[in-house]
Amino acid sequence: MSTTRPQKTALLVAQRIVADINRRGNTVGDRLPPERVMLEEYEVGRGTLRESLRFLELQGVIALKPGPGGGPIVRRPDPTALATSLTLLLQFDQAPLRSVAEARAGLEPALARLAAEQMTEDQLGELRAVAESSEHLDDPRGFLEQDRHFHDLVARGSGNPVLAHLSAALLLLDRPAGGTETAARRSTARQAHLRIVEAIASRDAGETQTAMADHLAQDLRHAEEAQLAAPVVWESP
């Protein structure tokens, strides 16, 4: 096994690659310079450069295309890496899934309040369409995806990218709780979503916050104790 020294070098090179992506104004889909150019530019060995690129690939910042004509392509990172890091921290704490559900209940009402103030009319239209859809009322898995989409749109509507990313990571960690198992609960959740949409449409920050808090508290009450007590574990992304 190698020392910790190349590791730090690999991180520093990764930082320089990201800084150069920004400096050049690269956008999604842009091809980065080929390996031989990077080796000269960053003055490191091939092993270290590949480690840097692997790290950025795991962070979702680049994709590595194989074969001739391949090489690193710029991607836009998604919250998967954030969720993985959080999961590993929680797994070492032996934290239960309840702590994720409670964190959402602590975070999302504040996000919803911001969304009532910040969400654009376009975003509100998209949110309303998701909330009004009755497409998945007979489909627990589909409804769960719809529910996540709803909560993600509220988080983005907050106008704060930090809170939106943290919320998106929590949505990836949270397992189906109490809201989607039965048709009656899916109907209740849909009603709760519609109440939140109306509160945002009225730009009523207090009512929006309360409506989201009520919705998540109800989900927590409906969730099964055994499910909430299960530990957070790192599973396939």
Enumerate binding residues for a copy of itself (CB under 8 A): 1-4, 7, 11-12, 15, 18-19, 22, 35, 50-51, 53-55, 57-61, 63-67, 70-72, 76-77, 79, 81-82, 84-86, 88-93, 95, 99-100, 102-103, 106-107, 110-111, 114, 160-163, 165-166, 170, 173, 233-237
- Least CB distance from residue 19 to a copy of itself, whole Å? 7
Say how far apart CA 68 and CA 46 lie, in whole Å. 17
CA dihedral 95, 99, 104, 105 (to 10 degrees): -170
131/223 with CB nearer a copy of itself: 223
Tokens of 94: 């032996």
- Least CB distance from residue 187 to a copy of itself, whole Å? 29
64/137 with CB nearer a copy of itself: 64
- Least CB distance from residue 196 to a copy of itself, whole Å? 18
Say how far apart CA 200 and CA 11 lie, in whole Å. 43
Say how far apart CA 232 and CA 101 lie, in whole Å. 11
119/173 with CB nearer a copy of itself: 173
156/186 with CB nearer a copy of itself: 156
- Least CB distance from residue 227 to a copy of itself, whole Å? 16
- Least CB distance from residue 100 to a copy of itself, whole Å? 6
Annotate 44-93 with DSSP letters as a single string.
Answer: --HHHHHHHHHHHHHTTSEEEE-STT-EEEE----THHHHHHHHHHHHHH
Give the 3-state secondary structure of residue 231: strand
Give the count of alpha carbons within 13 A of 76, CB side only. 2
